[in-house]
Each structure stands twice: as structure tokens, then as C-alpha cells.
A and B are shown apart, each in its own frame.
Chain A
Amino acid sequence: MKEAEIKRLLAANLLCVFSIILTTTVPAFFLDSFSVLGTHLTWLCICSVSISALNIVLCLVLRPNPSPKRSSFAHKISRFLKCCIYFFMSCILFHVIVVLYGAPLIESVTETFLFAVLLSTFTTLQCLCMLGPNIQAWIRVFSKNGAMSIWDNSLQITTMCSILGAWFGAFPIPLDWDRPWQVWPISCSLGATFGYMAGLIIAPLWIHWNRKQLTYKSR
């Protein structure tokens, strides 16, 4: 059971990685002069949208954390709306945090906001898909003994890797190399993306290696 689940996780994660790689190449066929660095904002939009779509589809298909009771249609709708509000709020929150960390306040608001959207896609959206709009569950998952399934573990790892990647992405900005990717927020969004991809790959491997130690509390 566990092995099969790990394989499913690996497949899903590899799909995500693959789709990110696709977002950097495919749009070049449809859009003139598309490149990740040159038209960064476009890429940010495309990447966020496609990863969100893929995550939602995967979530519907795989159902990692099926909700315990069947619910009505109205309940589902309210749940969905709640998800949307949470996602939007997390975008705002990330924006504020990024500004507090030193991002420009007024100039390049669009860039900062799209970067916040990307970060939310990598972190909040996944939480929404896996755990639903339930803050208490989120708090539980992101603590030492809070993971209840390998999906939770994967969520922990990818989220941390994305944020860590974004954090490290800020490091090259002050360097005087005058490279195009040092412009705000390119290095940070690239860092977040690489962190996310690394997290996606590391998560199944880590779970595989530590599968003996990982014991989950039964629900």
C-alpha cells in the first residue's frame, strides 16, 4: 500500500516538474519573443495558472485526503469560494511579507504581486488542494509530528523548499554582475521555482528512504 502510494506521489510530482519545464518552452511557439527572462511577467502568469490547474486536476483525480463525509452541492460551492478567498488572502499576505523583507514599496507592484501569486501557487494552493480551507489542519501539518500521510510529508517538503528557494533567490540581487536575471523579482521567482521543483523531486525520495521511520497516526 505504502509503496504504491509513494509511486503515485512520484508520478504526480514528476508531472508537476514536467509541466513547469513545459511552461518555459511551449509558450514560445504561440507568443512572439517569449522568454522566461525577457517577458518574465507573462511567464509568471502562465506558470501560476498552469501549475494551479494541474494541482487542482491532480487533487481531484488522486484524492489524497478524502473528506470524511459526503457533502452537499451547496457545501462544495461554499468550500470552493472559501478556497478562492483564502488563496487571494495568501497572495496579499505574501505580497506584504515580501515588501517587509525589503522589496520596493511602490515601484514594480505588479512584479511583486505576481511573485506573491507564484509563491501562493507553490504553497497555499497545494495546502488548499490537500487539506481544504482549514487553517487548523494547516497548522497541524506544519509541525514536527503533524504529518498524517505521505501526502502531508510531500506538502511539507515542497512548501519549505519553495520558500527557501525564494529566500535564497534574493541573494544574487545586490551583486554587481549586471545580469538580466538579477532584476527584481526574477531571481526570487526562479529561486522559488527551482526550490519547488527540487522539493517535488526530493519529497518522494526522502519518503522512500525514511519509509521505515515514518509512522502516521491513524485518523
Chain B
Amino acid sequence: MTELEEARERYCADFERFKQKAARNGGGWTYPLRKTAISRFAEVGFPTTRDEEWKYTSVAPIVKVRFRRADPRPNGVVPRALAQTGAGELAKNRLVFVNGHYSERLSSVGSLPGGVKVESLAAALVNDPAAVEPYLARHASYQDHAFVALNTAFMEDGAFVHVPKGCVIDEPIHLLFVSTSNGEATVSYPRNLIVIDSDSQVKIVESYVEVGGRGYLTNGVTEVIAGENSVIDHCKLERENETAFHVATLQARLGRSSNFVSHSITLGGALIRNDVNVMLDGEGGDCTLNGLYLGTGERHIDNHTRIDHMKPHCVSRELYKGILDGKVKAVFNGKIVVGKDARKTDAKQTNRNLLLSEEATIDTKPQLEIFNNDVKCSHASTIGRLDENALFYLRSRGLGLETARALLTYAFASEVVNQIKIAPVRAGLDDLLTARLQKICQA
């Protein structure tokens, strides 16, 4: 039996143990869904580099580890440790999850308009199935993505956010995922469900940090359902431990005239795979997907995005930028599919990469599939090094070589950072980047 097959059987066997627990916890109605998902996983198994979608990313380092499902650890994290990650005080509304499990003690939610739900998904599965069931796993497909299938089978907790019609929430809602594995190989399956009804506006931040976590796996799925004329500002900050694995899918479905902005910031982790999929499923939808990935050492960072233009007059803008040092391997695959009904589509995709070392590599691949003639689509991808003329210019004014390099690298990143509208996130990221880049440029 190959390593992949052996791993597949291991996960399926683990599901047999897990299903009793899932039923016991009251979310028994999810069992058929979980069963379908694990059956699908049993059929497809883990991807190999022969799969087109995984051509440049081998999951072997993840597959060979025997991860144990993470238990809730109520006493593992104190607020002070959270504050030290710099992620603790981003927003007043904060749901904290320790190793994938909701921590009421660390969470706090301010006063929200009536009818707004910001709570643990585990609780919602038990107490509020009618609110969850119409959406859960209806968008993130577990049919052809092994990790989404596993998340769907094993999901226990995450955030459930529901904003009813016509609600504008100014304060960002921060979903903070903290890992504390302490060297033990554990896996958590964060599952977030964000349902924003028509005419509502919300800002959501997802952060992934660690407090003494090493060698763990985060396998997350976030589903966003944006109602008609809704406005959603989403930002994901991935700051996992440098020895950790992070595989996550963000799946959004946008209704008519809705506006969805999502930033994906990748700063940590040993092997990272992000899938961001957006379906523009109503006329006049507007979607912005931006990303920034910063890699050093021997890390592997894979960003896959897919935007489906399904209806007329939708706009999509995409800007992903990578800063790659050391022996980092990065992948960007950006797919845009324009359906036959999607006339007057306006889609623009850009991927830019800055290589700071000789050994860093990037595989960048734009994919446009267009089935309508009346559209405007463009893509660009570039790979480059720091501009020698600009370096000399700065140095000729007295800036040291390292400072000049750090400044130009920061400037490269700032095009993405400056587009983040959630001010505390932007400011926090600014500080993080400045410190990180100074370190990189000194080495």
C-alpha cells in the first residue's frame, strides 16, 4: 500500500471513531453530510502532483504525518499570550478558537443590532439548525477537493455569523484561531459560515496564530453567502508557526449588486495552500481578491484562486503579490471563468513576484476560460528583482543598502496593504511587515 492509500484508510478509520462523538454532541443531523463527504474522500483520496490543481504542490509532507484530532484545551491560552501575538486587540468583537474549539473565556462580542448572530458554529449546529442547514456545505464543494471533504466530515467548530437584512455593522468581527499544539501533531478543522442578507454590510477578519504551536495542521473552510446589495470586507491573516501546515478554502457566493473584498495575507507556515473561490451569481456583482505572500527559508506557499463570472455586468479585480526569499517555492494559479450568460464582464488579474534570492522560485499561471464575446478580461504576471536604479537612487541620498532594500520591498508590498480598508488590520500588518522585512534584508 502506498503512503497516500495508507493515509486515506487512516482518515476513513478515524471517521468511524469520530462519528459517534459528532452524533453525541447534538449535531446529529449533520451525519448524512459528513458521511457523504468522507465517502467522497474515500473515492478521491489525497491529490498528487499529477492532478492539475496540485501540479506544483506535493501534499506528501502533510500526508505522512499521523495527526491526532485536537481536543479542546480550555486552559491552554491566557489573554496575555494572545496579546503578545499582536492579534488579540484587533477588534472589539472577537471570537477566539483554541485548536479549532471555541473559547468563551477569551471571546467577547460587543452590542450588535438585533437579530445579528456572531457565535460558535458548534453551538449553532445544536441550537439553531434551521439557520445553518440551508447554507452549510452547500457552497464549498467537497466533491473534488480532498481537504474540503475532510473538513466537512470532521468539522466541529468555527464561527457562525448571520447578519439579517439591512444591518450595517461598523466594528469588524474578528475570528481568531490559535494553535497551541506544543509539538504534538494535531489537526484542527475550523469551519466558518458567514451569511450576510441583502442590504447589509460587515467586516470580517480571520486570523491564524500560534501560542506555542508547532508541527500542527490547520484544515479550514470558510463559506460566505453574500445577499443582494450586501457589502463584505474580508481579510485573512495567516501567521501560523513556521513548522505548521495550513490548507484552507474560502468559498463565496455573491448575489446581485453585492460587493465582496477579500485580502489574503500569508506570512507563516511551512506548507500553505489557499483556495479562494468566488461565484458572481447575480448581475452587477463586484469582487476584489487581493493577496500578499511573504516567504523565507524553505517554505512552500500555494495560492489558488477561481472567479466564476456567471451573470452579466460583474466586475472582478485581483492583485496577488509575492515576496520570496531563501529557497521558498511559491505557486500562484488564478482562474477566471466567464460563463456564456456573463456579458459585459470586466475582469482583471495581476500577479507580481519579487525574488530576493537566487534560489527562490515561483510558478505563476493565469487561466482564463471565456464563453462570451462581449467581455473585457486581462491578466498579467511578472517575476522580478529589486530595481537596481531605484536602489542606487536611495543609496545616493544616504540610505544604507539594507535600509534601501527593505524600503523598496516594503513599497512593493504596500500596494496590497494600502488597499485594506480595515484600519487596525492595515496598521498592524504595516508594523509586522516593516519588522519582518528589515530582518530579511539584513540577512
Q: Do A and B bind each other?
A: no
Chain A residues engaging chain B, CB cutoff 8 angstroms: none
